Chains A and B, each alone.
Chain A
Amino acid sequence: MSRKFKAALFKILMILSTLIISGSLILILWTIASRGVHALTWELVSRLPEGGFYIGKGGGLLNAILGSLYITVGSTLLGLLIAVPVVLYLNVYSREGSRLATVVRFTFDVLFGIPSIVYGAFGFTIMVWLGLRASLLAGIVTVTLVIIPILARAMDEVMRRTPGELSDQTYSLGATRWETSLVFLRQCAPGIMTAILLASGRAIGDAASVLFTAGYTDNLPGSLTQPAATLPLAIFFQLSSPIAEVQDRAYGAALILTAIVLLFSLSAHYFSKRLSKNKI
């Protein structure tokens, strides 16, 4: 094979894979849009399900939209509260070559690989053990478990790439490890935004972990102890209906879910750009 041929072959391969990736994205968007767009009415996003909603009568999915947002925001905040200190420990507090840090990182890799249905089953077991019913709180806690490894790994990756000189500088000025941590967070702010985006995207889209833990309801969750509906489950339940109109609503829900994720993505991009102006 001539070198020219090899180069041409590789170029064709690259173009093909690019087409496959962007093609499937367009296909997915087109599928949910074409089937969901006429189900997507103001009623669908602004009202709760009414009697007979699941056999094609009136109402909307406000319960699932708000439920999903509650769970996503709640679990992302709770996840940050746990993941940020761990990551700071790994990168600022622990000494280079620390064995504990290696163990913690390995643990996150393992946790990352666990399917979310297992987290769901785990959350369910704990709930039963504590005598709790499916609730918003249980959903938030379970989804938090799912996203902690995502948050921690993504943030750890960014912080590890931060040159060690940064802490040399702050320590030389007489900063404590806590003060150094704050500078680290500032330096890594764009990366942290990306981590939050990855995690919240996963949190809002995950069905398996909320199935048993958050439950499903046609009402808005009035408190943390009441069950909460979510968009992925709304899609799941409606898609399994034999009625075409209800199925279309499932695509409408998918469209709403995709739009929310897109909104997250765009805002994360915007903030990460603003935050990186001071980056080294």
Chain B
Amino acid sequence: MSLLDLKLLRDLRALKSQAIAVALVMACGLTMMIMTRSLILSLETARNGYYERHRFADVFSSLKRAPASVAAQISTLPGVAAVETSVSMQVTLDIPGMAEPATGLINSLPERRDPALNRPFLRAGRLLAPAARNEALVSEAFSDAHRLRPGDSVSAILNGRKISLRIVGIVLSPQFVFEAPPGSALPDNRSFGVFWMREEALSEAFNLEGAFNTVALTLAPGASERAVIAGLDRVLEPYGSLGAYGRRDHPSDTRVTDEIGVLQGLSFGFPLVFLGVAAFMTHSVMSRQIALQREQIAILKAFGFTNRQIGLHFVKFTLVIVVAGTTFGALGGWLLGQKLVVMYHLFFRFPALDFQLASGALVAAVLASAFAALIGVLGAVRRVSALSPAEAMRPEPPASFRPAFFERIGLAKKFTVSLRMSLRNIERKPVQAFLTTVALALATGILIIPNSFRDGINHVLDFQWDVSQRQTVIMSLVEPGPTRALADFRALPGVVHAEPFRAVPVELRAGNRTRRLGVTGLPADGHLARVIDAHGHRITLPPQGVVLSKALADALALAPGDAVTLRVLQGKRPVREVRVSALAEDFAGVAAYMDMDALNRLLGEGDRINGARLSVAAGAWNAFLTAVKSTPQSAGVAIKEAARASFRKTTAESIGLIQTIYLVFATAVAFGIVYNSARISLSERSRELATLRVLGFTRGEVGGVLVGELVVLTIIAIPLGLVLGSYMAKAILTTVNTETVRLPLILTPANYAFAVLVVSIATTASALLACRKLNQLDLVGALKARD
């Protein structure tokens, strides 16, 4: 080892706490980068492999009923590679040990062969026996939620007949990587599950023998998805097609893709902020180090060391910090990534979701942090090069000061001397003061982001469950029924209030933009389901026109008053021009609402309903559930509190974990920044502070002088940080938000107060730590040393 390197090691040891602070901030940024990039890689690898091995389809469509022979017709469409048809029905389930009924989606599997597409993966037990009638496979998410094992039985109401299904196997399916009730953005694995039965038994129960109501197909290489979708719609239109769609609109695949998109947003924004802070910290530590070693540098130069050698010496100094930061960051990313990958099992069901370290990200991380650190050290090294040895050996001239701005304009008459010292110091080194303020503001700002995510999620949930959806339970019918079905619902025990709803699949077209979705018909004066505008006010559904969610209006480039073409994909398939009457605020998916009577008039099928929202008295809850389980015409029951509890148990906990990780990092960085600033201030002013101690100032008084500047800068930085944090939260939310899930930007006083509190504590704690160092000041040495 060269002696210069030995000097490096010893200097590092002397600077260890600051070097560690910089390395930790860097490590926090890299941990997040490596963690998120690795999660992206893990999810993509798992998804792509799974889709390929289990032949996940490219295009999907649901319809009312088509004869089996139509399948052959579909397979002759240009661009179609493979076709699989099946029967898929929603049913009410009676699960042992569960008071309330659950909803099941039963899909058929071909009678005597493996399905060509969307093949289930067997996790436990066995697949269905050929021609088995009462055997079923159940999805792993649902079986986990109810501890169902092969050999257990569940009761299901199939088209009004209650039958017992024996579970023989627990499976996964590429169609249900994300398993949520149809139309819901949130998983609810207790109340909703997916099942598979042999085709004959299922189609018999629903009078669909020799027919199908679901089709999936894969595209031939090079085929146009658009053309195939159009062709499929043409073929299926006579059979009550609800409209074909590609993977982009597939509810499960969209969620996986969205999650990867969210991670991509996070893998960039957060690390960028953290590495920026690390660069700043490197710069301030190295500038100070070079200023302290001015005379040593002069001597090295006088003895013939080149600028290059000396510059490299300081660059190495930084690289040691980079290596430490990267090592900790990689380790952190690896450990946290493994923890989070396990958490993803709660949302996404893959046969295997193994953690894969993104080695590319690791290389990028090393480069990014080295780049950040080198940017930080560059200016300082340039100053070394510019220094001539003779000049450097002379002591630095005394720093020149002048009265601070506040004093020049006569505002500082009452300021204490130590406050004046702080203000003049700040004004004398405006760049450093600016950078410290920026770093402190960043420390404040990054604390805002994770809490704004939490508040946004809480807002969405409160909105979803308290403001918008006010029913106890939603009951849906197998098929649209006459309004007298409402009377049946009202007759159920404990029902206090019932409001019908109508739901119908439509295509909305404005110019060349289209979206397919279900339009919901609600009573204009109902109060169990309320449509809310951006200001939180309730929208009364007008007798004509349609209310669109803001996201849908944006997607179709529509504003209130514009006309939109509404093509119904069911029944008589009318096509009508309707006006957009208002925009609604919601946070998941896209939605359109109409007055139920207006919708029924438009459909021309008389007054029909798809189900009802019920408000049920708490005292009669058990009697209500018992009655519901044996109600034949009900296809599904969605209990609000069950969904909320299930969400709390799974999703909320996981989001809480991620939020905690980010918050811990943000707090660590806030401490790092403040501590580093205090240490540098101590190092720059040690002689001045020692002189004050000699002159009879107490430790407390000298501490006040030391931290005065930091306190002034913190006071300036905190409000800036709150503004900066709000914008950062907005920017990150914008990159993270998708059409399926949107988080609103919710900034609460509690969030701001928390950020201010943490930064204040960090400032106080760092100041105390730095003040402890005051005890080590060399009083006698300070008297002998030159300026």
Q: Please indicate whether A and B come from the same complex rather than being unrelated chains.
A: no
* Chain A residues within 8 Å of B, Cβ to Cβ: none
* Chain B residues within 8 Å of A, Cβ to Cβ: none
